[in-house]
């Protein structure tokens, strides 16, 4: 009895501990995982800390700090897949095939023979060269002269031109002709006070140090009874005249003497001017002076196509001007690649040239292709 009352009293004074409060869970979802950026190669900054609730009484002795994991270094991803980067190579650009028209030029200066020869006067040099002519012609030289393409290639010179020298039809003519007294006037005076060294060695605004013009009658002019003597040296060229004009400048040789370096050549045919451009591989004789072997184009030796090695080559790749293929191989090549077999430069067009083996060098520009000037 006594112990029962004592137990009741003890329970009232010391009640049992309350049951713990269950933890509270929030419905807030975790933040999405960070997304890797292929542009910067890094993850974005971590999200701001989210509030958390813990059950029971938690005593925080220091402010809450969020743990930031170290940023993982991930290598840059490769560029997106490009279709042209794998698999079959792209088809070559279709090249254009051009046909040529034969232009019979009556005169042709052999540019490898162009030179200056010393005279009895110090600083005065005579202009010399060899040329071919399939018709009677005349030769005129100009020093420090200007050509006007808008006036039918009219030439004006600082110095009065020497008298023109006439030549009959023939091959390998030499200029000047020692038997012609007027040849003494076709000289370059490097000591003249009227001209500077810069004017003799550079080109400026269609003004050239030396201009050499070879003129001949066309077949139409001869049939009409025309005469070259009726024309003033350097005048506007009429349509019944065929001419070849060579432009050159002075250069210093290794021994200190002066020489002539050709800049370009033009021909005048039926009232139209064409600029001549060298075609590598058309002439096979290295002594002819085409310069192909000297420029490192030893692959052009011989007359065979460099692809089939049997047919004669008659097609030129432009703009590199390598005549290295026959017509059939060039037609097959342009469907597979657009690279020149010799220099590997891109081919823009193909030039098919029909060569008349019996034609002489005087009947046309055998080693050149003509383009309108």
Q: Is residue 318 situated within a structural domain?
A: no
pLDDT in tens, 124-133: 899 999 999 9
Quote the pTM value. 0.63
pLDDT digits (tens, 9 = 90+) for 139-179: 999 999 999 999 999 999 988 888 899 999 999 999 987 65
Give me the residue label for tokens 């003509």: 370
In a domain, 290, yes or no: no
The residue among 184 and 262 whose pLDDT is bigger is: 262
What residue numbers bound the domain in which 136 lies?
105-277
Let me know if residue 234 belongs to a domain. Answer: yes
CA distances in angstroms from 208 to 7, 183, 196, 302, listed in the order given: 134, 21, 13, 37
48-106: pLDDT as tens digits: 665 555 444 545 555 555 556 666 555 555 555 555 555 555 555 555 655 556 677 88
Residues 6+ apart with CB under 8 A from 332: none
Confidence band for 240, pLDDT divided at 50, 70 and 90: very high
Q: Is the confidence at residue 266, as pLDDT, over 90?
A: yes
Per the domain annotation, does 65 fall within a domain?
no
Q: Looking at 212-221, 235-244, 290-299, 316-325, which range is the least confident one?
A: 290-299
In a domain, residue 136? The reply is: yes
How does DSSP assign 294-354, residue by residue? TTT-GGG-SSB-TTTSSSBP-EEEETTTEEEE-HHHHHHHTTT--B-TTT-PBP-EEEE--
> Is 225 part of any domain?
yes
The beta strands (E) that lie in the chain are given as 96-99, 107-118, 124-133, 137-148, 154-157, 165-167, 170-175, 187-189, 207-217, 241-252, 258-269, 272-278, 315-318, 322-325, 349-352, 368-372
- CA–CA separation, 260 vs 148, rounded Å? 22
**For residue 213, is it within any domain?**
yes
How far apart CA 15 and CA 4 sit, in angstroms, is: 16
pLDDT for the residue numbered 288: 38
Q: Are 84 and 90 in contact (CB under 8 A)?
A: yes
Token output for 373? 């000037």
Neighbours of 316 (CB within 10 A): 27
Average pLDDT, the chain: 76
Quote the tokens at residue 67: 């743990």
Is 116 a domain residue? yes
Q: What pLDDT, on a 0 to 100 scale, did the predictor assign at position 366? A: 37
Look at the chain and report how many structural domains it folds into: 1
pLDDT at residue 168 in the model: 93
Instruction: Give the pLDDT of residue 289.
Output: 40
């Amino acid at each position: 009895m006594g112990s029962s009352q004592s137990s009741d009293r003890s329970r009232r004074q010391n009640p049992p501990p309350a049951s713990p409060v269950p933890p509270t869970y929030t419905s807030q979802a975790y933040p999405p995982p960070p997304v890797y950026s292929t542009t910067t190669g890094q993850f974005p900054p971590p999200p701001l800390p989210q509030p958390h609730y813990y059950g029971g009484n938690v005593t925080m002795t220091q402010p809450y700090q969020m743990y930031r994991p170290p940023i993982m270094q991930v290598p840059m991803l490769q560029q997106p897949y490009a279709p042209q980067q794998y698999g079959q190579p792209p088809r070559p650009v279709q090249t254009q095939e051009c046909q040529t028209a034969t232009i019979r030029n009556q005169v042709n200066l052999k540019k490898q023979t162009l030179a200056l020869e010393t005279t009895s006067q110090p600083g005065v040099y005579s202009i010399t060269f060899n040329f071919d002519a399939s018709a009677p012609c005349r030769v005129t030289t100009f020093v420090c002269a200007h050509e006007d393409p808008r006036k039918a290639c009219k030439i004006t010179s600082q110095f009065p031109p020497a008298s023109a020298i006439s030549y009959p039809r023939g091959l390998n003519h030499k200029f000047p002709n020692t038997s012609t007294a007027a040849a003494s006037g076709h000289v370059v005076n490097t000591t003249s006070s009227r001209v500077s060294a810069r004017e003799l060695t550079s080109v400026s605004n269609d003004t050239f140090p030396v201009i050499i013009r070879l003129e001949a009658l066309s077949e139409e002019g001869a049939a009409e009874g025309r005469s070259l003597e009726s024309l003033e040296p350097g005048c506007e060229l009429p349509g019944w005249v065929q001419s070849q004009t060579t432009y050159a400048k002075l250069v210093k040789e290794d021994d200190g003497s002066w020489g002539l370096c050709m800049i370009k050549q033009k021909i005048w045919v039926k009232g139209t001017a064409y600029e001549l451009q060298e075609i590598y591989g058309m002439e096979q004789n290295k002594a002819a002076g085409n310069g192909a072997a000297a420029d490192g184009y030893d692959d052009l030796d011989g007359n065979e196509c460099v692809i089939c090695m049997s047919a004669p080559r008659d097609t030129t790749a432009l703009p590199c001007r390598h005549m290295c293929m026959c017509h059939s191989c060039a037609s097959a090549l342009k469907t597979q690649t657009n690279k020149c077999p010799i220099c590997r430069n891109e081919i823009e067009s193909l030039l098919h040239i029909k060569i008349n083996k019996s034609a002489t060098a005087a009947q046309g520009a055998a080693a050149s292709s003509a383009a309108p000037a």
